[in-house]
Amino acid sequence: MLKELSSSKFLIPAMAILAILATSAGFYISLKQAQQSQQAVSTVEGLFWPNPKQINAYSVLDQDGKDFGLNQMKGKWSFIFFGYSHCPDVCPVTMSVMADSYKALVGENKDLQVIFASVDPERDTPEKLSEYVHYFNPDFIGLGGNNEMINSLTGQIGVAYYLNKENQTEDYLVDHSASIFLIDPLGRMVGKLSPPHEKNKIIQQFTQIKNFINEQS
Amino acid sequence: MNKVNLFLLTTFIFQTLFPSSALSNESGEVSFSDAWINEAPATVSVLAGYANIHNASDKSITLLTVSSPNFSKIEIHRSVLNGDMVSMEKQETLAIPAKNTIKLSPGDLHLMLFDPDKPLRAGDTATLNFSFSDGNNQTIEARVERRSSEDHSHHHH
């Protein structure tokens, strides 16, 4: 039997099998390595990489009625949430989570800003926005102006909203995005934090995304 | 017609004929716990109210209306997440199944409280009147609170 194996009749097929096995193992190892480096990116939940969207110039008004645009985002990490102040449930809960997260993060992240952008600027005048956002934290920024202005921002970030004005005139509801978007100091949309929002989750995601982005530069 | 159907039909006829008769208890079947109103900035004219509504009886009871001397109107809504979009769906009524608790909580079912008669601050209370399909009415005092987000996510029960 052994003698037969070592004979040339079996040697060539055996070598061929060995060669195939070795090649497969090589493929397997390089595949694993590729997967691992992919995982380093994909374990950062909510990260938009490698092609984060560059935010272009836009023009809205802040809670003091002053112009606010891309320049006010440059050099800062911005959390931005799109809502409206007549929203009794999801918006105040989200803002309250943001307030707690901001408080925990701002000590080590002086370049952090939290923005509440109203998709209902008709009712959310600068005065109302000012009182609304400062209730949650005096540092928070409220953006509005008019729908055309707000659309210059929502269009780029890719959030939709809908004013349910068909039946009621005064108490209409607004469908809006429940996610919080993260813009880096270069004005790139690098992350999206999906609901349900929780303080510890936001802190973790922000820290991971920020560290990842800082490692790239 | 089998026995079960006959029983259901009889029950249905009785309940239709005698909606708040001795067949259903006068009170004590529906109880509330953890009723609270989320404090909001003073300019906000729409607040959210939350509570756990427990039905101790062995039949489903439907919440028909909620009213209050402190608000111009109250509606029952549910926040619904569709992909990334959140919208509120008005509930005309709210069924509380037999031996069950329906939880009104942030990001889910809630009472939409319109136009408070005065700015409500944490520690204030507001009166809420609930009327149910069994003819029972209940008045409770809900406390205005400013809960931290940790409180929201832990869901007090």
Q: HEC profile for chain B?
A: CCHHHHHHHHHHHHHHHCCCCCCCCCCCCEEEEEEEEECCCCCCCEEEEEEEEEECCCCCEEEEEEECCCEEEEEEEEEEEECCEEEEEEECCEEECCCEEEEECCCCEEEEEEEECCCCCCCCEEEEEEEECCCCEEEEEEEEECCCHHHHHHCCC
The CA-based angle A85-A86-A87, given to 5 degrees, is 85
CA distances from B118 to A15, A164, A210, B70, B125 (A): 89, 27, 44, 8, 11
Note the pLDDT tens digit of each residue in B60-119: 999 999 999 999 999 999 999 999 999 999 999 999 999 999 999 999 999 999 999 999
Residue of A134 and B13 predicted with greater confidence:
A134
For the segment A37-45, the average pLDDT, to the nearest whole number, is 65
Which domains are delineated in chain B?
Answer: 27-149 (2.60.40.1890)
pLDDT above 50 for B23: no
Spell out where chain A has E strands.
Answer: 53-54, 59-62, 67-69, 77-83, 112-118, 141-144, 162-164, 173-177, 180-183, 188-193
Residue of A118 and A25 predicted with greater confidence:
A118
Q: How far from the centroid of its chain's Cα atoms is residue B100's Cα?
A: 13
Match 């926040």 to its residue by tokens: B79
Q: Please indicate if any CB of chain A lies within 8 Å of the CB of B38.
A: yes
Note the pLDDT tens digit of each residue in A59-104: 999 999 999 999 999 999 999 999 999 999 999 999 999 999 999 9
Query: Residue B27 — very low, low, confident or very high, per pLDDT cuts 50/70/90?
Result: low
Q: Can you give the pLDDT at residue A79?
A: 98
Q: Can you give the pLDDT at residue B20?
A: 40
- ipTM at complex level: 0.77
Cβ A173–B79 below 8 Å, yes or no? no
Beta bridge partners of B52: B33, B103
CATH superfamily to which A53-216 belongs: Glutaredoxin (3.40.30.10)
Note the pLDDT tens digit of each residue in A114-173: 999 999 999 999 999 999 999 999 999 999 999 999 999 999 999 999 999 987 667 899
Question: Could you give the CA distance from residue B37 to residue B145 in angstroms, rounded to a whole number?
Answer: 6
Q: Can you give the pLDDT at residue A41?
A: 59
Q: Please indicate if any CB of chain B lies within 8 Å of the CB of A176.
A: yes
Provide, as residue numbers in chain B, all residues whose Cβ is less than 8 Å from the Cβ of A91. Answer: none
Q: Can you give the pLDDT at residue B147?
A: 86
Q: Taking CA atoms, what residue in A is nearest to B43?
A: A128
Q: Taking CA atoms, what residue in A is nearest to B154?
A: A198
Query: Residue A217 — very low, low, confident or very high, per pLDDT cuts 50/70/90?
Result: confident
Q: Can you give the pLDDT at residue A27?
A: 61
Residue of B6 and A157 predicted with greater confidence:
A157
User: What is chain A's Cα-based Rg?
Assistant: 26
Q: Please indicate if any CB of chain A lies within 8 Å of the CB of B51.
A: no
Provide, as residue numbers in chain B, all residues whose Cβ is less than 8 Å from the Cβ of A140. Answer: none
Residues 67-106 in A contacting B (C-alpha not used; CB under 8 Å): 85-90, 92-93, 96-97, 99-101
| Mean pLDDT, all residues of chain A | 88
Q: Can you give the pLDDT at residue B14?
A: 47
- The torsion of the CA quartet A196, B102, B36, B24, rounded to 10 degrees, works out to 170
For the segment B145-154, the average pLDDT, to the nearest whole number, is 70
Q: Taking CA atoms, what residue in A is nearest to B50?
A: A89
Q: Can you give the pLDDT at residue B1?
A: 47
| Residue whose C-alpha is closest to residue B60's, from B110, B112, B2, B12 | B12
Q: Do residues A53 and A46 lie in contact, with contact meaning Cβ atoms separated by under 8 Å?
A: no
Q: Can you give the pLDDT at residue B22?
A: 37
